[in-house]
């Protein structure tokens, strides 16, 4: 049977926590069992705020030994002991996986603080080539012997077991790991679900059963269609009375989740990842308004060069940009890419500058995603500016963001009747800020007027409001509107006012 899977992000910050982002941690839950990936500071607080049950945590994976990924582990283990579920006993051991010297560090942290746990734990270390076995030392009283897992052809195989709802099935899950490039040893983990039963092709099987109905009834089958369930359940061929063979469904690969630690190059994970359903990749640095040159240098700056500088800065610290993450996602054919590990310089949702379009928008403007599951489609509502024929109207529009945003601009389209020299008849807005970055081939606009990755949705909408008040009829999109604007301003104003009334249902 298909096991329900979900991922909960408990922390998405890097290096320093902020008011809006906790240190790194995420919880992978399959059929109620929870595996934790990284445990930065205050992970236990995030778990308490979530709907996850701490007592369900059975395995913890540490990607690397930087503090923002592991400082929360010792206190978390102490808290887990106080939150044991009824289905667990003191004999349930928490398995912890990670690089050297995780075992020694955790042991010393617990011993130095005289901490005792209600559950035992064991640490399995991923041994890089050339690393020596640790010297014997006194175990913590609640510590069990863990494995030293050797690397084979640049891959670590970690066979793991997780029961499904039917405990007797004992379907085997697999976690594999590979070293990825960072400033210290870092790993990426690949979670592989077991093969799943495929679907029966009823269009082929049912006609064959119907053809043999009489013979099957004579054999004692009260309802020959029960063979469908038998075929699915036994996964074995069934030979019909006329010699036709019913083939069981072909097994399909299970889901694959790739979770990477900090990295500036994770290409080494490619041999063990293929078409993952989800790739979780760090994006510590990104090109934003913070990287915009000073005003005196703004003219003639090259956004491609600026992107290159941001990428070089990220790589120099062992980190990645969103573009680097997307490149890897494309190479491994990932169905979904999720970014995490954001620098503290990028404010979260509590920052007023980031949320004002939805909660504190400039007067006369509101905007936000149409659906929280699709951030590439936004809706906007613009109030007609005072002193213009648009005054009093409420004009709805959509913004569609391309997959390579912010390298390319979004498109904006009014979804109501709209008459303006710089708006096409179908509602699409035509202004400089929405034109592709670079020089204008017609030499009408300067590159500084066109789109650049540091522009914002707010600036687009404010530019549109300005456009409503001051049309540009020299490079018009609607020829009729341009002509009437130039030759018969009174008629133009009347058409616009009528459209404004329509938006109010009048």
Q: Using one digit for the tens of pLDDT, what is the confidence trace for 40-53?
A: 999 999 999 998 99
**pLDDT confidence of 170, banded at 50, 70, 90?**
very low
Is 78 catalytic? The answer is: no
CB 405 within 8 A of CB 322: no
The pLDDT, as a whole number, for residue 400 is: 94
Please state, as a whole number, how many other Cβ atoms lie within 10 Å of the Cβ of residue 295. 7
Q: Is the pLDDT of residue 177 over 90?
A: yes
Q: Is the pLDDT of residue 190 over 60?
A: yes
The rounded mean pLDDT for the chain is 85
The pLDDT, as a whole number, for residue 1 is: 55
Q: What is the CATH number of domain 356-503?
A: 3.10.110.10
The pLDDT, as a whole number, for residue 87 is: 53
Q: Is the pLDDT of residue 345 over 90?
A: no
Task: At 460, give phi and psi (nearest 5°).
Answer: -60, -50
What is the C-alpha to C-alpha distance for residues 8 and 50, in angstroms, rounded to an integer?
Answer: 8
Q: Where in the chain is the domain with CATH 3.60.15.10?
A: 5-195+254-340
CA–centroid distance for 410 within its chain: 20
Q: Is the pLDDT of residue 351 over 60?
A: no
The pLDDT, as a whole number, for residue 47 is: 93
Half-sphere exposure of residue 114: CA atoms within 13 angstroms, side-chain side: 0
The pLDDT, as a whole number, for residue 373 is: 65
Half-sphere exposure of residue 137: CA atoms within 13 angstroms, side-chain side: 11
pLDDT digits (tens, 9 = 90+) for 397-427: 999 999 888 888 999 999 999 999 999 999 9
The pLDDT, as a whole number, for residue 300 is: 54
Contact residues for 327 (Cβ-Cβ < 8 A; gap 6+)? none
In 39-171, DSSP assigns E strands to: 57-61, 94-99, 121-127, 148-150, 156-161
Among residues 70, 264, 430, 482, which one is catalytic? 430
**pLDDT confidence of 304, banded at 50, 70, 90?**
confident
The pLDDT, as a whole number, for residue 294 is: 57
Sheet holding 186-192, edge to edge: 156-161, 172-180, 186-192, 256-260, 278-282, 337-340
Start-to-end C-alpha separation, the chain: 56
What is the C-alpha to C-alpha distance for residues 73 and 117, in angstroms, rounded to an integer?
Answer: 13
Mean pLDDT value across residues 267-274: 95
Return the higher-pLDDT residue of 447 and 315.
315
Return the higher-pLDDT residue of 8 and 170.
8
Concatenating the DSSP letter of every residue in 184-245 gives: S-EEEEEEEPPPB-----HHHHHHHHHHTHHHHHHTT-SSTTHHHHHHHHH---EE-TTS-E
Q: Where in the chain is the domain with CATH 3.10.110.10?
A: 356-503
The pLDDT, as a whole number, for residue 109 is: 94
CA-based torsion, 485, 487, 490, 492: positive or negative = negative
Q: Is the pLDDT of residue 163 over 50?
A: no
Q: What share of the chain is helix, strand, coil (3-state, %, to 5)?
A: 30, 25, 45
What is the C-alpha to C-alpha distance for residues 230 and 211, in angstroms, rounded to an integer?
Answer: 18
The pLDDT, as a whole number, for residue 273 is: 94
CATH 3.60.15.10 fits 5-195+254-340, yes or no: yes
Least confident segment among 281-295, 307-321, 396-410: 281-295
């Amino acid at each position: 049977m298909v096991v329900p899977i979900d991922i909960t992000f408990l922390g998405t910050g890097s290096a320093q926590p902020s008011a809006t982002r906790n240190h790194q941690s995420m919880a992978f839950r399959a059929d109620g069992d929870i595996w934790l990936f990284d445990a930065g500071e205050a992970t236990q607080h995030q778990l308490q705020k979530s709907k996850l049950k701490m007592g369900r945590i059975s395995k913890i994976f540490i990607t690397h030994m930087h503090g923002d990924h592991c400082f929360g582990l010792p206190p978390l283990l102490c808290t887990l002991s106080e939150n044991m579920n009824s289905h667990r006993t003191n004999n349930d051991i928490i398995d912890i996986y990670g690089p050297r010297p995780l075992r020694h560090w955790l042991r010393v942290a617990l011993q130095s603080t005289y901490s005792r746990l209600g559950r035992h734990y064991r640490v399995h270390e991923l041994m890089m080539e050339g690393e020596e076995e640790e010297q014997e030392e006194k175990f913590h009283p609640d510590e069990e012997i863990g494995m030293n897992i050797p690397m084979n052809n640049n891959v670590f195989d970690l066979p793991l077991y997780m029961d499904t709802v039917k405990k007797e099935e004992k379907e085997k899950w697999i976690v594999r790991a590979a070293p990825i490039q960072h400033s210290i040893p870092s790993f990426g983990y690949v979670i592989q679900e077991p093969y799943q039963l495929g679907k029966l092709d009823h269009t082929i099987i049912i006609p064959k059963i119907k053809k043999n109905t009489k013979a099957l009834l004579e054999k004692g089958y009260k309802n020959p269609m029960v063979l469908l369930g038998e075929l699915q359940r036994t996964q074995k061929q069934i030979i019909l009375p006329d010699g036709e063979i019913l083939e069981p469904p072909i097994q399909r690969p299970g889901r694959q989740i790739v979770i990477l630690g900090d990295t500036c190059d994770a290409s080494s994970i490619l041999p063990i990842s293929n078409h993952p359903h989800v790739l979780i990749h760090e994006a510590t640095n990104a090109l934003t308004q913070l990287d915009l040159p000073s005003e005196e240098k703004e003219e003639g700056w090259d956004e491609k060069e600026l992107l290159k500088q941001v990428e070089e800065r990220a790589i120099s610290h062992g980190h990645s940009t969103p573009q680097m993450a997307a490149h890897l996602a494309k190479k491994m054919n990932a169905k979904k890419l999720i970014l995490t590990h954001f620098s503290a310089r990028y404010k979260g949702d509590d920052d007023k500058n980031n949320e004002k379009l939805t909660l504190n928008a400039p007067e006369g403007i509101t905007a936000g995603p149409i659906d929280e599951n699709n951030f590439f489609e936004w809706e906007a509502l613009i109030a007609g500016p005072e002193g213009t024929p648009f005054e009093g109207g409420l004009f709805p529009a959509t913004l569609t963001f391309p997959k390579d945003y912010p390298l390319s601009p979004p498109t904006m389209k009014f979804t109501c009747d709209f008459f303006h020299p710089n708006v096409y008849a179908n509602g699409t807005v035509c202004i400089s800020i929405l034109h592709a970055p670079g020089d204008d081939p017609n030499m009408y606009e300067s590159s500084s007027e066109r789109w650049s990755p540091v522009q914002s949705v707010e600036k687009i909408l404010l530019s549109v409001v300005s456009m409503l008040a001051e049309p540009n009829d020299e490079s018009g999109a609607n020829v009729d509107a341009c002509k009437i604007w130039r030759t018969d301003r009174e008629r133009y104003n009347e058409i616009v006012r009528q459209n404004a009334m329509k938006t109010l249902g009048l």
